[in-house]
Structures are given as structure tokens and as C-alpha cells.
């Protein structure tokens, strides 16, 4: 048994908020009867109608991994008409990205219409590991690496422990490549962490998200997750 508004939203028909509006305004029928009560529980065998549409509550969820290029927005639509990660994926389902990458950040982003999984993965308590490669100005010295590992202050709060390795320093360009794994998801977290040690990030790529990496996916390419990969993501939020 699930709440009616959740079943409608999870079906990809509309957002949770709009589903609630549809219910309270009397547009939703369960087994032929109008239901205006938010929180009404429904089961898979119930027939749910919104106006003339039948809601598919046994739907097949879709899960994608995308290698996001630069200059793409991580949301479902953009008020300035810029291309979004959703535009890159050929589907009729109402999918959306799990979390965000900045406009200029590249790499792994997962998209789905499974609201339950998405919400749980995005929740701060989910502790999902994300690995980034950051190209930053200057040489990041051992002391600074240690600071990043132990936590730095961003907006007055210390970041959690992170795994951090200097992969390369290019003397000619005076830039460092740093691999950094975090399990939080504060806004612009990686850029702010480097800001805290006075190194500006000039390029940022997310190379890993939980059990997933970019193997075989060139920039702009995507594929469906396998059932096994989805099952692993589910196992991480239990």
C-alpha cells in the first residue's frame, strides 16, 4: 500500500506537489470514485485515473547513467532554454537527475523516474561515495592534502573525512590533478573545499558514483543501468 500522491508522482505523471493539487481539487479517481483525501493508501490492483488518464502504477522504472558534457544543466528544464541532461536522453518517461553537477562539471550523473530511489540517494544520510578528478591552480602540497582529508570549513561547517590523492602536478602549467572522494553533497562542495585551501578548480569531472564508473561512456553518451547495478544502488540505501 502506498500513498496516492506518491503513486501518481512515482508513475512519472507529474510531481508530488502537482499530484497533491490534482487530488485535493477532485481530479483523481480510485476505482471509479473521486478521492480528495491526501494520504489515501492504494494498492497495485487499484485503478487510478487523473482526468481521462489512467495511471500506470505497475510501471517499469528507467535508470540511466550519463557522461555529462560541459555546458549542460543538471535539471529537467532551464528557464533560459539551455540544454539539460534530460534532453540528452531519448525516453518518453519523465526522468530527472539524481543530484546535480555544475554547468561546467562533467562526468557521471544518474537519471531515473524512480522517485523513491532518487530521494533516498539524494538524502544526506545516504553516504554515497562520489569520486571526482579536479584540476586546480598551483601545487597542492601534502599539508593541504591532509587538510582536505580531515575536513575544511565551508560556510562555517567542517566537511567530513575525504579520500584525497595528488595524482599529478604539471610544472609547466602550474596545475595539480587531485582525486577526491566525498560522501556528502553540499552545493559546489568540491570547488568550495579547494577554495578553502586557496586553490581554484579549473576543471572538474565526476568519475565514480557509488558502484558506477564511466567505463565505455564517452562524453554525452549514456546507457541504461543493469538490474544488478540498480539492485546495488538499492542495497546502499537500506
The residues annotated as belonging to the active site are: 102
Going from the C-alpha of 171 to that of each of 90, 137, 165, 203, 213, the distances in angstroms are 43, 11, 17, 17, 29
Q: Closer to ligand URA by CB, 120 or 191: give it.
A: 191
C-alpha cell at position 15 = 510531481
Under the binding rule (CB under 6 A), the answer on residue 101 touching ligand URA is yes
Least distance between ligand URA and beta carbon 28 (Å): 38
Stretch in the footprint of ligand URA (CB under 6 A) among 76-84, 115-123, 138-146, 188-196: 188-196
Report CA 75 to chain centroid distance, whole Å: 9
Residue selected from 10, 11, 93, 105 as contacting ligand URA according to rule CB under 6 A? 105
Q: Closer to ligand URA by CB, 54 or 160: give it.
A: 160
Least distance between ligand URA and beta carbon 188 (Å): 4
Stretch in the footprint of ligand URA (CB under 6 A) among 27-35, 90-98, 99-107, 151-159: 99-107
186: how many CB neighbours lie within 10 A of its CB?
A: 15
Stretch in the footprint of ligand URA (CB under 6 A) among 45-53, 97-105, 160-168, 207-215: 97-105
Q: Which helix (H) or strand (E) holds 31?
A: none
Q: Give the span between the Cα atoms of 220 and 65, in whole angstroms.
A: 10
Under the binding rule (CB under 6 A), the answer on residue 110 touching ligand URA is no
Under the binding rule (CB under 6 A), the answer on residue 162 touching ligand URA is no
Least distance between ligand URA and beta carbon 174 (Å): 21
DSSP annotation string for 129-150:
-EEEEEEEES---HHHHHHHHH
Q: Closer to ligand URA by CB, 8 or 152: give it.
A: 152
Burial of residue 15, with CB atoms counted within 10 A of its CB: 0-12 exposed, 13-18 middle, 19 or more buried: middle
Under the binding rule (CB under 6 A), the answer on residue 210 touching ligand URA is no
Least distance between ligand URA and beta carbon 206 (Å): 6
Q: Which residue has the cell 555546458?
A: 71
Q: Closer to ligand URA by CB, 102 or 129: give it.
A: 102
Spatial neighbors of 187 by CB under 8 A, at least 6 apart, are none
Q: Closer to ligand URA by CB, 16 or 208: give it.
A: 208
Q: Which residue has the cell 543538471?
A: 74
Residue selected from 19, 128, 204, 210 as contacting ligand URA according to rule CB under 6 A? 204
Spatial neighbors of 33 by CB under 8 A, at least 6 apart, are none
Residue ranges in contact with ligand URA by CB under 6 A:
101-102, 105, 188-191, 204
Amino acid at each position: 500500500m502506498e500513498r496516492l500522491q506518491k503513486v501518481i508522482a512515482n508513475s512519472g505523471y507529474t510531481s508530488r506537489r502537482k499530484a497533491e493539487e490534482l487530488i485535493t481539487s477532485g481530479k483523481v479517481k480510485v476505482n471509479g470514485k473521486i478521492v480528495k483525501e491526501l494520504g489515501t493508501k492504494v494498492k497495485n490492483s487499484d485503478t487510478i485515473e487523473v482526468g481521462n488518464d489512467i495511471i500506470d502504477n505497475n510501471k517499469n522504472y528507467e535508470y540511466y547513467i550519463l557522461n555529462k558534457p560541459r555546458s549542460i544543466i543538471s535539471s529537467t528544464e532551464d528557464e533560459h532554454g539551455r540544454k539539460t541532461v534530460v534532453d540528452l536522453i531519448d525516453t518518453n518517461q519523465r526522468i530527472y537527475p539524481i543530484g546535480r553537477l555544475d554547468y561546467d562539471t562533467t562526468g557521471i550523473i544518474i537519471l531515473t523516474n524512480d522517485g523513491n530511489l532518487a530521494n533516498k540517494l539524494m538524502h544526506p544520510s545516504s553516504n554515497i561515495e562520489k569520486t571526482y578528478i579536479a584540476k586546480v591552480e598551483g601545487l597542492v602540497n601534502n599539508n593541504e592534502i591532509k587538510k582536505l582529508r580531515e575536513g575544511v570549513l565551508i560556510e562555517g561547517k567542517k566537511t567530513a573525512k575525504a579520500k584525497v590523492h595528488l595524482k599529478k602536478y604539471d610544472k609547466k602549467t602550474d596545475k595539480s590533478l587531485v582525486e577526491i572522494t566525498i560522501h556528502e553533497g553540499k552545493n559546489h562542495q568540491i570547488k568550495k573545499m579547494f577554495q578553502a585551501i586557496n586553490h581554484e578548480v579549473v576543471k572538474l569531472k565526476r568519475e565514480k558514483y557509488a558502484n558506477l564508473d564511466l567505463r565505455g561512456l564517452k562524453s554525452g553518451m549514456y546507457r541504461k543501468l543493469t538490474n544488478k547495478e540498480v539492485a546495488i544502488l538499492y542495497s546502499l540505501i537500506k
